[in-house]
A and B are shown apart, each in its own frame.
Chain A
Amino acid sequence: MPSSVPEGLLEFIVDRINVGILAVDRAYRIILWNEFMASYSERPAREVLGRDLFEAFPELPRKWMERKITGAVVLKNFSFASWKQRPYLFRFNHNRPITGGIDHMRQDITFMPVMDGQGEVTHVCIYIYDVTDTAVYQTMLQDALRRLAESNNRDGLTGVYNRRYLEESLEYEFTRARRYGHPLSVLLLDLDHFKRINDTHGHLAGDEVLRQAAQRITSAVRNVDVVGRYGGEEFLVLLPETDSEGAQVVAERIRSLIAAQPVVYGDTAIDISTSVGLATLDERMAAYTDLVERADGALYRAKDGGRNQVVVQVAGE
């Protein structure tokens, strides 16, 4: 040690630094316990020094720590642990008692071998870094990114999925259904006389109709089904693991639910209905666009046949 460092200074620093520092000998006896450790654990140094680490703190993950310590001893090298994989080693309170956002202090850990003059490891020093703030900010960032990704997938007006997400899902479900030979159906819906609603009651009323229709469609399907806005007044419902027969039941449920009651906008009650085209995957389809095209053909016939009805695509068409 350089003679220029005043006596007691290093001890003072070790004690006051805002990092937990402890050291154990090869028999896991605690031989150093700084003030950080004492204050957060509420166990003063005089109480723990000389004691077996795992006996003094039975809640520690012994097997894991022994492995880390052995690694440091045998390889004479640092070993590390991060809060990302293991949130904390010592269960300490954090210093966000007011702003909170987390349960316990998040910790990054370093295990450092301490060697004597002959290069033999006599002790292992353990540093406990408080990384609670980093963890809180990272969690906030991840939440924000998740929300952003989610809103990127949503149609702003109706809250159901947007066209881009629908196409991704169609691609994914189509490939999966083809590979595993599972059924897959698609409903393409077009609200009847939507242009007339807009012209008669105004665009804001039209928007409300779209929102209500989206809600009614969503309430008629399962969680695994994907509902999205495909175009202006067109919706698409993707029904995984559903054959034509099952899809007809869903389609009819949606059709009747939409026509069941008018959409109320201000003082006006607007009657609505929808035409539905249904298509089910068959082995001649090469891409999901074939499936959508088939549903579109069925939808056209539903419109042609007088609207407010479900038309099922017939094989071989």
Chain B
Amino acid sequence: MSISFRTVSHLNEDQRDALAEIVNIGMGQAGAALAQVLGEFVILSVPRIRLVDSQAVPETLAELVGAETTVSAIRQPFHNHLHGEAIVVYDEHGCRDLADIMGHDECTDERVEQELLLDIGNILAGASLKGVGEQLQAEITFSPPSILATHVPVERLLDPEALDWSYSLLIEVNFTLEARRFKGHLLIMLSEDSIDTLVRDIDAFLESL
């Protein structure tokens, strides 16, 4: 069993609360930034934080997003101080609303749709992680986002067989736009190595209070 698993299983109550608070503040900043760029008020849920076993990824996704939901998703790597991938999952109703927000008339073109998913995903993941990074005084850098899948059942988004890690720290936030049907989920997944780094950061954060 990896060291990181032991570490996280020992994530104590204080550390857990601190992490939730850090993420929460980060999300608040993200919400404000998003409102500015999109011209829409974005409602972000309270973050849910959990350790996820790679074998349990399909069930976890189904539980968070809703079983048998057809979704599209993008992924975006982040690195530097913390290393992992952000995955933004959109439900099927999202596209038309997104097109409208971003000033497109239609959402008929597949390329336009994908560009919207990528743009919004980049904004969400970027704003949220930047917020978290600022709390922890950690620089986070992003690589370009790419399409993970379009129009697939949520259970099939990630294939456990293809994942070469055992455990990841998953931070989930769902977001809705006020007065629209649009709903999405931001999943920030930290690599095993980064879990240790994060735990150290949290301790430093707690000491600084």
Query: Do the beta carbons of A84 and B114 come within 8 Å of each other?
Result: yes
- B43 in the interface (beta carbon within 8 A): no
Interface string of A192-234 (1 = CB under 8 A from B): 0000000000000000000000000000000000000000000
Complex CA–CA separation, A76 to B147 (angstroms):
23
Query: Do the beta carbons of A85 and B123 come within 8 Å of each other?
Result: no
Complex CA–CA separation, A75 to B121 (angstroms):
13
Give the residues in chain A near B7, CB-CB below 8 Å: none
- A159 in the interface (beta carbon within 8 A): no
Q: Smallest CB–CB gap between A123 and chain B, Å?
A: 18
- B122 in the interface (beta carbon within 8 A): yes
Q: Smallest CB–CB gap between A64 and chain B, Å?
A: 9
Query: Do the beta carbons of B144 and A80 come within 8 Å of each other?
Result: yes
Query: Do the beta carbons of B36 and A82 come within 8 Å of each other?
Result: no
- B119 in the interface (beta carbon within 8 A): yes
Give the residues in chain A near B145, CB-CB below 8 Å: 80
- B130 in the interface (beta carbon within 8 A): yes
- B118 in the interface (beta carbon within 8 A): yes
- A63 in the interface (beta carbon within 8 A): yes
A78-B126, A108-B144, A110-B144 known; A71+B37 contact, CB < 8 A: yes
Query: Do the beta carbons of A79 and B122 come within 8 Å of each other?
Result: yes
Query: Do the beta carbons of A82 and B37 come within 8 Å of each other?
Result: no
Query: Do the beta carbons of B123 and A71 come within 8 Å of each other?
Result: yes
Query: Do the beta carbons of A82 and B103 come within 8 Å of each other?
Result: no
Query: Do the beta carbons of B118 and A77 come within 8 Å of each other?
Result: no
A71-B37, A74-B37, A75-B37 known; A82+B126 contact, CB < 8 A: no
Query: Do the beta carbons of A74 and B36 come within 8 Å of each other?
Result: yes
Interface of B is mostly: helix
Query: Do the beta carbons of A67 and B144 come within 8 Å of each other?
Result: no
- B6 in the interface (beta carbon within 8 A): no
Complex CA–CA separation, A74 to B146 (angstroms):
22
Give the residues in chain A near B37, CB-CB below 8 Å: 70-71, 74-75
Among A79, A81, A110, chain B packs the most CB atoms within 10 A around the CB of: A79
Residue in A67, A76, A82 whose beta carbon sits within 8 Å of that of B146 in the complex: A82
Interface string of A63-95 (1 = CB under 8 A from B): 100010011001111111110111000000000
Number of A-B contacts (CB under 8 A): 51
- B64 in the interface (beta carbon within 8 A): no
Complex CA–CA separation, A67 to B123 (angstroms):
12
Smallest Cβ-Cβ distance to A75: which chain B residue: B33
> From residue 99 to 132 of chain B, which have CB atoms closer than 8 A to chain A?
102-103, 111-112, 114-115, 118-119, 122-123, 126-127, 130
Interface size class of A (residues with CB under 8 A): 10 to 19
Interface string of B69-82 (1 = CB under 8 A from A): 00000000000000
Q: Smallest CB–CB gap between A310 and chain B, Å?
A: 42
Residue in B102, B126, B144, B147 whose beta carbon sits within 8 Å of that of A77 in the complex: B126
Smallest Cβ-Cβ distance to A73: which chain B residue: B37
A63-B103, A75-B126 known; A80+B36 contact, CB < 8 A: no
Interface string of B130-153 (1 = CB under 8 A from A): 100000000001101111000000
Residue in B114, B115, B142, B146 whose beta carbon sits within 8 Å of that of A78 in the complex: B142
Give the residues in chain A near B115, CB-CB below 8 Å: 81, 85-86
Query: Do the beta carbons of B122 and A80 come within 8 Å of each other?
Result: yes
Residue in A63, A67, A74 whose beta carbon sits within 8 Å of that of B33 in the complex: A74
Query: Do the beta carbons of B130 and A76 come within 8 Å of each other?
Result: yes
Complex CA–CA separation, A80 to B118 (angstroms):
8
Complex CA–CA separation, A293 to B103 (angstroms):
54
Q: Smallest CB–CB gap between A89 and chain B, Å?
A: 13
Give the residues in chain B near A108, CB-CB below 8 Å: 144
Residue in A63, A70, A85, A110 whose beta carbon sits within 8 Å of that of B111 in the complex: A85
Complex CA–CA separation, A67 to B101 (angstroms):
12
Give the residues in chain A near B122, CB-CB below 8 Å: 77-80
Query: Do the beta carbons of A75 and B111 come within 8 Å of each other?
Result: no
Q: Smallest CB–CB gap between B146 and chain A, Å?
A: 7
A-B contacts, 22 of them at CB < 8 A, read A63-B103, A74-B36, A74-B37, A75-B123, A75-B127, A76-B130, A77-B122, A77-B123, A77-B126, A78-B122, A79-B122, A79-B123, A79-B126, A80-B118, A80-B144, A84-B111, A84-B114, A84-B147, A85-B111, A85-B118, A86-B115, A108-B144
Residues of chain B whose beta carbon lies under 8 Å from any beta carbon of chain A: 33, 36-37, 102-103, 111-112, 114-115, 118-119, 122-123, 126-127, 130, 141-142, 144-147
Known: A63-B103, A75-B126, A77-B126. 19 other contacts (CB 8 A): A67-B102, A71-B123, A74-B33, A74-B36, A75-B33, A75-B123, A76-B130, A77-B123, A78-B122, A78-B141, A79-B123, A79-B126, A80-B122, A82-B144, A82-B146, A84-B111, A84-B114, A85-B111, A110-B144
